[in-house]
């Protein structure tokens, strides 16, 4: 099992659509995937077709529960004809209240997700994708303490380079506090790349700031939005305009993820 957090402290960059696209690509490849929805908005949960979830990840974070994540796993509602149906540990609005409660723990609560994921048997998926909230609060910090690697998602726009730099610094600080030196940075996923002069300019700026670390981009396509809105994997949209191209881009992005332990990306210092 390899766990990857999908992060950016800025909202609206499409972290959840990247998570769903990667889950779709992994399912089409026959991999067992678990999505952990840490965002109180719960868009990954509904994107997987689950509209009345159980307590999910909020119960996991309520107290220290070694191995407790396994008890909150439920199947998604995606169709089974694509491949193995992804599993889910759902979000809930209660997460918005849980985060300030975590901050009051006198012993620190930054590793509750790590204990729940790694502290017992039951999670035997090939790939765990953690959809993080758009902040650098304790929910995101819990993800960074739990995962092997990080995929940093951004849009090609103004201030994107500065936002990436701040996130890289946060990842580096977590690595210094973890005895295993993780999480490593898989790379920067440039999402919603439009075919405009402005989009090309900011994409080039990111490439110059982080040479060799920008992964194959995901272009702005209606098929990706449609798949999320219909709670379907993008690989199942068949001949919808742009669906095949979108699926191919998520396949290429999946190829850059670590799919076996010990291959969890590049140390952050190499890309900072």
Asked whether 60 and 112 are in contact (CB, 8 A), the reply is yes
- What's the pLDDT at 263? 42
Instruction: Tell me whether the omega of the peptide bond preceding residue 183 falls within 30 degrees of 0, making it cis.
Output: yes
What pLDDT band is residue 261 in, cutting at 50, 70 and 90?
low
Choose among 148, 149, 151, 126: nearest CA to 26.
126
Span 8-12, average pLDDT: 83
Specify the higher pLDDT residue, 208 or 265.
208
What domains are defined for the chain?
A: 2-253 (3.40.50.300)
Least trusted range by pLDDT, from 96-110, 183-197, 226-240: 96-110
Choose among 108, 133, 113, 134: nearest CA to 58.
113
pTM over 0.75: yes
Span 218-224, average pLDDT: 93
Instruction: Name, in order, each residue with C-beta under 8 angstroms of 193's C-beta and a sequence gap of 6 or more.
Output: 156, 199, 203, 217, 218, 219, 220
- What's the pLDDT at 121? 66
What is the tens place of the pLDDT at every residue in 87-129?
Answer: 999 998 889 899 888 888 877 789 999 999 987 667 889 999 9
Q: Which helix (H) or strand (E) holds 190?
A: strand 184-193
State how far the alpha carbon of 169 is from the alpha carbons of 5, 39, 146, 176, 187, in Å. Answer: 15, 21, 17, 11, 14
Report the alpha-carbon distance of residue 47 to residue 76 in Å, rounded. Answer: 9
């Amino acid at each position: 099992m390899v766990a990857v957090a999908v992060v950016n402290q800025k909202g609206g960059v499409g972290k959840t659509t990247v998570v769903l696209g990667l889950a779709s690509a992994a399912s089409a490849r026959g991999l067992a995937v678990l999505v952990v929805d840490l965002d109180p908005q719960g868009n990954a949960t509904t994107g997987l077709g689950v509209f009345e979830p159980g307590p999910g990840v909020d119960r996991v974070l309520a107290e220290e529960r070694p191995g407790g994540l396994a008890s909150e796993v439920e199947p998604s509602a995606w169709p089974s004809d694509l491949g193995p149906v992804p599993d889910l540990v759902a979000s809930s609005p209660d997460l918005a209240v849980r985060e300030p409660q975590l901050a009051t723990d006198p012993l620190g609560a930054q590793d509750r997700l790590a204990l729940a994921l790694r502290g017992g048997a039951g999670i035997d998926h090939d790939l765990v994708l953690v959809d993080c909230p758009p902040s650098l609060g304790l929910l995101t910090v819990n993800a960074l303490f739990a995962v092997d690697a990080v995929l940093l998602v951004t849009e090609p726009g103004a201030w994107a380079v500065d936002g990436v730099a701040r996130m890289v610094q946060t990842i580096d600080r977590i690595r210094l506090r973890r005895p295993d030196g993780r999480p490593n940075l898989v790379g920067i996923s440039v999402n919603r790349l439009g075919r405009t002069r402005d989009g090309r300019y900011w994409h080039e700026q990111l490439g110059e700031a982080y040479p060799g670390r920008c992964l194959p981009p995901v272009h702005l396509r209606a098929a990706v939005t449609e798949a999320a809105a219909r709670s379907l994997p993008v690989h199942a949209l068949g001949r919808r305009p742009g669906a095949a191209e979108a699926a191919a881009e998520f396949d290429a992005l999946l190829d850059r993820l670590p799919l076996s332990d010990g291959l969890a990306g590049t140390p952050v210092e190499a890309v900072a």
